[in-house]
Amino acid sequence: MPCQHRFHHILIPQQENLEFLFIGTFNPVWDAANGKNADYLYGRASSLFWCILPHAFNENCLIDQGPEPWAAFCTNHNTGLTDTIS
């Protein structure tokens, strides 16, 4: 059965001049009973993406920050996030 991606509204941000684009394979399941739901792309507690990515730009880990700082980081660094599932 087809489903709309949980973050369909933010895939490939509409900013111009992206320098970096991360293409993932995010599992679009949400409201899972086990509580492993993501608040943002790569935002599950088991993912280290939001710690590793800022370090690549010589910045501090953002793993404990949440969706708004993560989105701001992407905007500030001309970085887009998308998925193979739209």
Q: What is the pLDDT of residues 6-18, one digit of tens each?
A: 777 776 667 678 9
Q: For residue 61, what pLDDT is reported?
A: 96
pLDDT at 64 exceeding the cut of 80: yes
pTM: 0.79
pLDDT of residue 78: 92
Sign, CA dihedral 17-49-84-37, equals negative
With a pLDDT cut of 90, the percent of the chain lying above it is 40
Of the listed ranges 21-25, 55-59, 68-72, the one predicted with least confidence? 21-25
Amino acid in the structure at residue 51: C
Percent of the chain, pLDDT > 70?
72
Going from N- to C-terminal start, the domains of the chain cover 8-25+39-83
Q: State the pLDDT at residue 37.
A: 73
Gap between the Cα atoms of 54 and 56, Å rounded: 5
Q: What is the DSSP letter of 57?
A: T
